[in-house]
Copies of this chain bind each other. A is one copy, B any other.
Amino acid sequence: MNPDTTRLARARERMGALGVDVLLLSVGPDLPYLTGYEAMPLERLTMFVLPVAGDPVLLVPRLEAPRVEARPDLFVLETWDETDDPVARVAALAGSVGQVAIGDQTWARFVLDLQRALPGAEFSPAGRVLAPLRVVKDTAEIDALRRAAHAVDGIAAEMRTRPFAGRREIDVHRELVERMLEAGHERANFAIVATAANAASPHHEPSSRVIADGDVVLCDFGGTMDGYCSDITRMFVVGEPTAEVADTYAVLVAAQEAGVQAATVGTPCEAVDAAARRLIADAGLGEHFVHRTGHGIGTEAHEDPYVVAGNLTPLAAGHAFSIEPGIYLPGRFGLRLEDIVVATATGPDRLNEAARDLAVVG
């Protein structure tokens, strides 16, 4: 990622509008979004201090300074030594402030320390400032999401030719992780491989269960490529599916298509959720679709906008999100189908192109 000064300027504009005096960012996606630098999720504090006016400072542990790509247009780099107090340093950089916006994923221990070090300040999550910027992707960001989507499309296609029976879930999991790295992802974020009854658990952890004839296999995998995330779910079945699996899958495909087609600019997120949900409910399976229809995606695997009941936010051009209904029959099997979609002025742009049928494998 190679952010320019425009993002900083827009962040400051929003800080001004919200009355935020200083933005404090640590671990999580906001920091690389503004500076290109990603903090290590460890006990040594990294913090970007962005005052609404004045010089932005990136404070890092001295031993991590060589990891930082200098961006004098974006920040002054400062370091702290092992025996320094980084919280006191941040407080001194922030100065006398009333309103502090702190990165949403900052560790609690640092939040509490900073609240004590800045006793007059009121803290709010930085998402107030940055989520509205991050949610609208520009052309370069959509291109990056599309490249990541195409990389996992290629893996999904290859998996149709691979053997499944006799392998363990964990083996297929590792293959997916390895293939994501080979396909150009710098990081594999997850690779759910859930077979037969395990697929009825939406966030199943891959186990040592051996895949057998007749199993459905749910593969939901994604990673980060050039700073932007992929996320795809495709379904496989070892040998011919039963009529029940085939019929249920047909309902799911129709529901997913309805969700995608509903994702037009101006449509509230909850209406997109309802469009997919309605078809599953009409088939008498509504109680088995136990999660929202989708989540936003960008530098973070899950971010705004959430495609969920109660979210009245209308989709805007440049919103990127998953459409991933699922049908889960406890103790029996589960099915999910997922693509990444971008809302555009000319309608929904589905980034994933891999075949969406239930792939029969060996």
Contact = CB atoms under 8 A, between A and B. Distances in A.
Contacts of A123: 108, 112
Interface string A282-312: 0000000011100100000111000011100
A344 interface: no
A310 B123 CA distance: 30
A355 interface: no
A64 B192 CA distance: 13
A200 interface: yes
A162 interface: no
A115 to B, nearest CB: 8
Contacts of A309: 82-83
Given A111-B111, A125-B108, A302-B43, A204 B308 contact: no
Nearest to A303: B43
A108 B109 contact: no
B67 A204 contact: yes
Nearest to A334: B66
Count copies of this chain in the complex: 2
A93 to B, nearest CB: 18
B290 A83 contact: no
B292 A201 contact: no
Contact of A203 (B67, B103, B105, B308): B67
Interface string A228-251: 000000000000000000000000
Contacts of A310: 83
A112 B24 CA distance: 14
A40 B111 CA distance: 21
Contact of A290 (B63, B124, B301): B63
Interface string A24-68: 000000000000000010110000000000000000001110110
A242 to B, nearest CB: 22
Contacts of A102: 108, 112
Contact of A308 (B63, B83, B112, B303): B83
Interface string A84-117: 0000000000000000001111111101100000
Contacts of A302: 42-43
A119 to B, nearest CB: 13
Interface of A: 40, 42-43, 62-64, 66-67, 82-83, 102-109, 111-112, 123-125, 127, 174, 178, 181, 200-205, 290-292, 295, 301-303, 308-310, 330
6 contacts: A40-B203, A66-B204, A67-B203, A108-B111, A109-B127, A112-B124
Given A83-B308, A106-B108, A108-B111, 4 more contacts: A63-B202, A63-B203, A63-B290, A64-B202
